Amino acid sequence: MPYYSTTSTPPLEETYVKLPSNALLHQQNSSQDNTCTKECEIPTINLHGLTSNISQEITKCKEDIAKAASEWGIFHVLDHGISHKLLHVMRTEQIRLFSMPFEKKRSWCGLPYGSYRWGTPTATCQEQFSWSEAFHVPLSDIDDSSEEFKTFREVMDKLATDMSNLANTIARSLSEYLGDPSTRCVTKSCSKSTSFFRLNHYPDCPFSEEIFGLVPHTDSSYLTIVHPDKVGKLQVKMNDSKWVSVQPKPGALIVNIGDLFQAWSNDVYKSVEHRVMPHSGADRHSIVYFLCPSYDSPIGSCTGHSPIYRSFTFGEFRKEVDKDVKQLGCKVGLPRFHL
């Protein structure tokens, strides 16, 4: 029977409790030490160095970015050039958007149809379910006809422009660090119109010890920029397979490397596996920008020799990811393209 509600919260609890628990996945999770053992201080990079008049400072900043991308796959950035006031206004608009009635969010709210999503439609068990809702917006397709959401669209468009500039600056630095000028086409294939904006909301969760806010995954992007709130709850998987908690840093944005940069760099840069845990007693919000190329853009190896992955387009990659999620309930990603 269809679910109809005048409240803002999607039927997360009703859906979750109806799903069976997968004993095999539960056993695998238990054997892989999925508990979060500690908080972790990820690298913090001041991007002022990239605009310095001193060549040594520029080189040092590029080295720091590349080291963080290869050893961690995730880092904080300060002096990123994005207005804190703009981020605050976007957060206010985000909260207003998610406070709308559930039916309005999933039918139409001035964003492209299908932008709104909640839970995990493909989940066949509780272990694959995400306790969250989101607007995943292709920036090439924003409806500008609604007066009700005019401020929201204007703020999102401005922030997306600034995020795009920041993402391309970091991507250019990572490309140039690997030394081959011909590989700088990474940024040429990416623009605001080919990238995505995602607004996440993780509602207060009564099952916070048993469920994910967002299931473990890597990002299908070159890189991702995140503006978290003060609640935190982002966790990353380290090389020793242990999960650690990444705490928000005042004034900083979080950057994490995506699958495309790992493939392009021949595994020099690390697409870090991460997850979000729900919180009991408080909602959590985040604003996310995904730097992506056009669907027909080839993702080759920057080295030009001994590639780890076969050449593929972004469209091919997305098609494989979507197929695996539908058939397996989870993403496989880069291993599908190993040579």
State how far the Cα of 203 lies from the Cα of 198, in Å rounded to an integer: 16
Question: Which residues make Cβ contacts (< 8 Å) with residue 274, sequence separation at least 6?
Answer: 74, 216, 217, 218, 234, 235, 236, 237, 256
Residue 208 one-letter amino acid: S
Catalytic residue among 284, 310, 318, 336: 284
Residue 153: helix, strand or coil by DSSP?
Answer: helix
> Sign of the CA dihedral 192, 97, 226, 121?
negative
191-226 in b/e form (b: 16+ CB < 10 A) is bbebbbbbbbbbbebebbeebbbbbbbbbbbbbbbb
CA 89, chain centre distance (Å): 21
- Reported in sequence order, the residue ranges of 60-182 that DSSP labels E, i.e. its strands, are 74-78, 116-118, 133-138
On whether the CB atoms of residues 75 and 69 are closer than 8 A, the answer is: yes
The number of C-alpha atoms within 13 Å of 203 and in the hemisphere containing its C-beta is 20
Cα Rg of the chain (Å, integer): 20
Tokens 């993403």 — which residue? Answer: 331
Closest CA to 285 of 244, 246, 227, 235: 227
184 as an active site residue: the answer is no
Phi then psi for residue 244, to 5 deg, are -130, 150
Return the structure tokens found at 82.
């994005």
Active centre residues (catalytic)? 284
